[in-house]
Amino acid sequence: MENKAKHFVAPFNEADFAVVDAVRVDAEPSNLWRDAWRDMRKRPMFYISGVLIVLVALIALFPTLFTNVPPNDNCLLENSSAGATDGHPLGFTRQGCDVYSRIIYGTATSLSVGLIVTLMTTLVGVFIGAIAGFYGKWVDALLSRIGDIFFSIPYILAAVVIMSVFSKYRNIWVISAAIGIFAWPSTARVLRAEILRVKNLDFVMASTAIGVSRFRILMRHVLPNSIAPVIVVTTISLAAAIVAEATLSFLGVGLPSEVMSWGNDISQAQSQLRNAPQLLIWPSLALSITVLSFIMMGEVIRDALDPKARASR
Amino acid sequence: MRINKLGLAVIAVAATVALSLTGCAASDGGNDNIVSVNGSEPQNPLISTNTNEVGGGLILDSIYAGLVYYDEAGTPVNDMAESITSADNITWDIKIKSGWKFTNGEDVTADSYVNAWQYGAKLSNAQLNSYYFDAIEGFSYDTDTELTGLSVVSPTEFTVKLSSAQSDFPLRLGYSGFYPLPQAFFDDPTGFGEHPIGNGPYKLESDSAWKHNVDITLVKNPEYNGGRKALNGGLNIVFYATLDAAYADLLSDNLDVMAGIPDAALTTFEGDLGDRAVMQGAAVFQSFTIPQRLAHFGANEEGNLRRQAIAMSIDRVQIIDKIFNGTKQPASDFTSPVIAGWSDTLAGADVLTYNPTKAKELWAAADAISPWSGSFQIAYNADGGHQGWVDAVTNSIKNTLGIDSTGAAYATFAEFRTAITDQSIATAFRTGWQADYPALANFLTPLYQSGAGANDGQYSNDQVDALFTQGNSAATLDEANKFYQSAQEILLKELPAIPMWYGVTNGGYGTKVSGVKFGWNSVPLLHSIIKQ
Amino acid sequence: MFSYILKRALQAVPVFFGTTLLIYFMVFAMPGDPIVALFGDKGVNEAVAEQLRARYHLDQPFIMQYLIYIGGIFQGDFGTSFSGQPVGAILAQTFPVTLRLATIAVFFEMVVGIGIGLVAGLRKGKLFDSSTLVVSLLLISVPIFVIGFVLQFLFAIKLGWARATVSGDATFSELILPGIVLATIGIAYIIRLTRSSVIETTGQDFVRTAYSKGLSSGRVVRFHVLRNSLIPVVTYLSIDFGILLVGATVTEGIFNVPGVGRTLYQAIIRGEGPTVVSFVTVMVLIYLVVNLLTDLLYAALDPRIRYGK
């Protein structure tokens, strides 16, 4: 490298620059995902939300660790909507079942529905949205219009059809499919829009200019920089899916009533809203805490993926 | 340039917004003397022989006058009929009052009745109420036939010949299927269904009175001269999607009269409304049916023992108290306390009283014949608000008999009824009956006679059939009811349906109206309501 | 740009056929016979039922039913409901109401959601930011049927500030309360999306440049931060508008709004194929237009986005 600034800068020792300019071929290349992971571990919010998520997962996997009251036996009508008593800290449902135990046992169902739906819509939505936004032209037209068709199916129709056709198998998989199968276009559209913006940014142009392959640009540069809104939508969708399960129960096409789920409890509590509001509050609270932990986790991930936000701290 | 493009886009959005906002004209029909009442959008065109649900029924009952109407107690009172007589309960001679007119000016004559009934019964007209004419000679379910039993004697007299003796025939005549129809109907049945022309206490306010999915406005028919003369200026029947919405309007005094109370307000409505809350008996019978084709529930010793055990393992009183807040009455027979001939002293009625010890014994006795396995399920349609009581009933059975028992939800009424009619349903299922006319027979023969239309459990017993036939041909209603009660004593042993409870009419009214009374069929007597 | 719009219009044709076919098939696949349900609890008269099935073409195989329906549409006939009303008339009556309702809801989502989201994003990690998280969580985790009942009870019955239900005219002012209820969940999404986007944008070089140029922070926020943060927000608003058009079933039920959601739900439950398909078809067409407008709006918000090349 020839120094052309001789006329106003004193000569200097090139050796000092050599250190800076040297390319360490043995060093690992800088990696967005790894940087993000390193950054996340420095944040308290990561640990708070992580502990909460682990706790919820533990409840879902091993409900017997948290209660020894079976949720559906000994539902005595004389306890209908009664308040807390010894051994039943949150009182009883309208059918006289233990509220606390139903919430503990309902965790697995609600969490599964939320996670399955979110996973399904995110995977499909990100795949379709990324391809449509990045490749544009007829690929975009085709995928976007398919998305429009799916989006236009009212989810109640989908739920009625799916839950009726599989009426013998009303389980978490079927209800998750009913909620999720027509929900992915939202994720796809949000991501597509962000990719439309990001793919025109300078660093993408630069990558193209130095001959990086299109697919590699999408995966390494465009997608990570477009993912933030997807994370926001995804974390809220988790809650929306759990609530959608409640709405389907409310409309009569949810899970059978002997299946414990927060949604079932919330929808059954609705008719008692004025005389026993606590029946609604407890499962809603469980739902809120779960969602809060996932939203906080989403926030940490989002920040970690955004190098500029990282730098500004 | 950029800003301009942004501006263009904003204008585009604004234009769509503005387009969607047009048509929001504020108008409030402030008719003082019009009573508003809750209803639901009719599911069929407003034709009397084709309306079989409450939404359309409420309107038809207001705009038509039939031969008789039912008073508050359910007793038939002559409306257009001068007399309805028969010597043998087979041939009925019906004389009608003269001088009555449809609101389009046509005279109401014997032909108006006979032609309407012929139309309603004819198979190719596909009228939902056609079964109503099946007692009349000449009726056929399979081919197009004339009702040969109908003959016009004079403009004010016609005779009806039945295919067999029916002592309660005059009782049926107040049902909407038997209303007369003007010639205008036969000229254009489709248009008529949209703008019906009647002869009753009210008429449609105008050609656009029926605003679909919103409401229908009726005004007093000054020419009506029967016993149901309107004391108000008219009715505004508002269509609600849910009772909850109607109740919210009642509480804020937007709605004058309300039939029915939503589940969510059952605990609070008497406190909310005070002496404007209404609660009285209703001609509604609720049950669940265990078809005899199910394993362990056949028409034999084991099946009877199991059905009795289940009937005794349900704590009806407690369920009514906790789930319905007392707005039901425990059943003691297969009919309803508002119907003459109802009884709570039938032999064997103790099977409907909660008795866990006896229930366990009976179940054990059945197990000795053939051991029980599996789960006992009660199916219901999830779109009708049945989940609460079905869960409570199955819990009660589970706790008493120690067997697995749950509810089984069907997403829609259509799916539920289809499974019952084509007999593919493999569980017990909820059943219910709201009387079409206030007679004991109406709660029994359509449901438990061999091969009857609503015999959902395909129950058949020769002895019961014989008693029904005797009841139908008895000389007086009292005598007939004795036969029906004997039939019920057999039913209580074999339990073709497990009686649960009788419905209760509940409702309420606002501060602006008085004189609100509810009839035997849970419908408010709209003509007698006075609005200040 | 004109050729781009034309292309998009042409794409509506396959979408129309795809949607109608799919929906018709779903209604067809619904178990249960809608004609049986017409008879209520009273027992079915099989011969009459046969006649009715023939009248509504329900005795035909699926593809015939679909073709009969499509054939009708091309003659301007959307079919009739079981109550004998032309579906076209039901469409004309319900869609304006629901469009009004959805517009009100989207308006609230826009004003409240973007406003709060912007402030929260600019004050990341501060008290205001944390409280919006809690508030939006509340909105998300309480189902709409509960929010609806509570607000109706509070504002209409207890305080008397609004009508408890909507009258037949469904005027603008009557639709405000249901509009707010409908907007609650969307508001939560918009707050979170705006906040996230704003945080990302404020870290960008051009914002720093703008500040260092000495622009007032108000100008920076309005012209640089907000504008560059709006793409995901606009996208979500357009999606939500579509959801609100059909998804207002519960809210329309609570407030008795004579709109699309309620009517469509009834039609689904009753298995009225032509009604369901017609509603969804109109809704798809609206949605296509909204999508096109959104895509054009992207180009306006970010001039680097170009179509049609």
Contact C96 B414 (CB under 8 A): no
Contact A77 B263 (CB under 8 A): no
- Chain A 173-232, residues with CB within 8 Å of chain B CB atoms: none
Q: Locate the chain B residue with the closest alpha carbon to C252.
A: B241
- Helix (H) or strand (E) holding C194, with range, is helix C176-202
Q: What is the rounded distance in angstroms from the CA atom of residue B346 to the CA atom of residue B340?
A: 14
Residue A4's pLDDT is: 52
| β B328-330/B498-509 pair status | antiparallel
Residue A307 pLDDT grade (very low, low, confident, very high; cuts 50, 70, 90): low
- Set of chain A residues whose Cβ sits within 8 Å of the Cβ of C9: none
- Radius of gyration of chain A, Cα coordinates, nearest whole angstrom: 26
Q: How far is CA C254 from CA B41, B236, B237, in A?
A: 16, 20, 18
Higher-scoring residue by pLDDT: C208, A108: A108
Q: Locate the chain A residue with the closest alpha carbon to C284.
A: A152
Contact C43 B453 (CB under 8 A): yes
Which residues does residue B376 pair with via DSSP β-bridges, in sequence order? B405
Q: What share of chain C is helix, strand, coil (3-state, %, to 5)?
A: 75, 0, 25
Q: What are phi and psi of B313, to 5 degrees?
A: -95, 5
Judged by a CB distance cut-off of 8 A, whether residue A205 touches chain C is no
Taken in order B219, B224, B225, B226, is the CA torsion positive or negative? negative
Judged by a CB distance cut-off of 8 A, whether residue A168 touches chain B is no
* Fold (CATH) for B43-199: Dipeptide-binding Protein; domain 1 (3.90.76)
DSSP three-state, residue B458:
coil
Which one, of C255, C42, C43, lies nearest residue C166 by Cα?
Answer: C255
Contact B252 C40 (CB under 8 A): no
Tell me which of B269, B314, B322 to substitute to probe the interface with A (most A C-beta atoms closer than 10 Å).
B322
Instruction: Return the domain boundaries, chain B.
Output: 43-199, 283-505
Residue-wise pLDDT tens digits, A14-68: 666 666 666 666 666 666 677 778 877 888 888 888 999 999 999 989 888 888 7
C275: left (phi over 0), alpha (psi -120 to 50) or beta: alpha
| The two structure tokens encoding residue A248 | 């389907």
Cα torsion through B111, B114, B116, B117, rounded to 10: 180
Residue A310's pLDDT is: 54
Q: What is the rounded distance in angstroms from the CA atom of residue B380 to the CA atom of residue C87?
A: 30
Q: Which residues in chain C land under pLDDT 50?
A: 309
For A229, residues 6+ apart whose C-beta sits below 8 A from its C-beta are A190, A191, A194, C193, C196, C197, C232, C235, C236
Query: What is the CATH superfamily name and number for domain A49-73+92-312?
Result: MetI-like (1.10.3720.10)
B263, B267, B383 ranked by CB distance to A252: nearest: B383
Report the amino acid identity of residue B523.
Answer: V
Q: What is the rounded distance in angstroms from the CA atom of residue B140 to the CA atom of residue B327?
A: 41
DSSP three-state, residue C27:
helix
Q: What are the residue ranges of helices labelled H in B76-213?
A: 110-121, 169-172, 183-187, 189-194
- Set of chain C residues whose Cβ sits within 8 Å of the Cβ of B23: 96
DSSP three-state, residue A212:
coil
Judged by a CB distance cut-off of 8 A, whether residue B45 touches chain C is yes
Residue B257's pLDDT is: 94
- Helix (H) or strand (E) holding B285, with range, is strand B277-289
For B352, residues 6+ apart whose C-beta sits below 8 A from its C-beta are B311, B312, B316, B330, B331, B332, B492, B499
pLDDT at position A275 over 60? yes
Which one, of B176, B198, B160, B194, lies nearest residue B127 by Cα?
Answer: B176
Q: What are the residue ranges of helices labelled H in A65-201?
A: 99-135, 137-152, 155-165, 172-180, 184-198
Which one, of C291, C294, C106, lies nearest residue C187 by Cα?
Answer: C106
| The two structure tokens encoding residue B370 | 């053939």
Q: Locate the chain B residue with the closest alpha carbon to C95.
A: B20
For B349, residues 6+ apart whose C-beta sits below 8 A from its C-beta are B332, B333, B343, B492
Residue-wise pLDDT tens digits, A202-250: 777 788 788 778 888 888 778 888 888 888 888 888 878 887 887 787 7
Residue B29's pLDDT is: 42
- What residue has token string 């999720």? A180
ipTM: 0.83
Q: What number of other Cβ atoms are within 10 A of residue A207's Cβ?
A: 17
Contact B408 A256 (CB under 8 A): yes
Which residues does residue B379 pair with via DSSP β-bridges, in sequence order? B408, B429
Q: What is the rounded distance in angstroms from the CA atom of residue C96 to the CA atom of residue B22?
A: 8
- What residue has token string 């989403």? A298
For C46, residues 6+ apart whose C-beta sits below 8 A from its C-beta are B141
Residue B30's pLDDT is: 46
> Is residue C147 within 8 Å of residue C184, measured between CB atoms?
yes
Q: What is the rounded distance in angstroms from the CA atom of residue A208 to the CA atom of residue C258?
A: 54
Which one, of B97, B101, B113, B112, lies nearest residue B160 by Cα?
Answer: B113
C36, C82, C266 ranked by CB distance to B418: nearest: C36
Q: How far is CA B450 from CA B220, B426, B468, in A?
A: 45, 21, 10
Q: What is the rounded distance in angstroms from the CA atom of residue A309 to the CA atom of residue A306?
A: 5
| The two structure tokens encoding residue B36 | 């508003």
Report the amino acid identity of residue A229.
Answer: P
B27, B28, B454 ranked by CB distance to C41: nearest: B454
* Fold (CATH) for B283-505: Dipeptide-binding Protein; domain 3 (3.10.105)
- Set of chain C residues whose Cβ sits within 8 Å of the Cβ of A254: none
Q: How far is CA C11 from CA A145, B141, C7, C17, in A?
A: 8, 51, 6, 11
Q: What is the pLDDT along chain B (532 residues), one digit of tens a residue?
A: 344 444 444 444 444 444 444 433 333 344 568 999 999 888 888 999 988 888 899 999 999 999 999 988 888 999 999 999 998 889 999 999 999 999 999 999 999 999 999 999 998 888 888 888 988 999 988 888 899 999 999 999 999 999 988 888 888 898 888 999 999 999 998 889 889 999 999 999 988 889 888 899 999 999 998 899 999 999 999 998 888 899 999 998 889 999 989 888 888 898 899 999 998 888 899 999 999 999 899 989 999 999 999 999 999 999 999 888 888 999 999 999 989 899 999 999 999 999 999 999 999 999 999 999 889 999 998 877 788 899 999 999 999 999 999 888 887 888 888 888 888 899 999 998 888 888 899 899 989 999 887 888 899 999 999 999 999 888 888 889 999 999 999 999 999 999 999 988 899 999 999 999 998 888 899 999 998 8
As to burial, measured by CB atoms within 10 angstroms (0-12 exposed, 13-18 middle, 19+ buried), residue A284 is buried
Judged by a CB distance cut-off of 8 A, whether residue C242 touches chain A is yes
> Is residue B81 within 8 Å of residue B531, measured between CB atoms?
no
| The two structure tokens encoding residue C200 | 């990302």
Q: What is the rounded distance in angstroms from the CA atom of residue B139 to the CA atom of residue B131?
A: 9
Q: What is the rounded distance in angstroms from the CA atom of residue B462 to the CA atom of residue B484?
A: 14
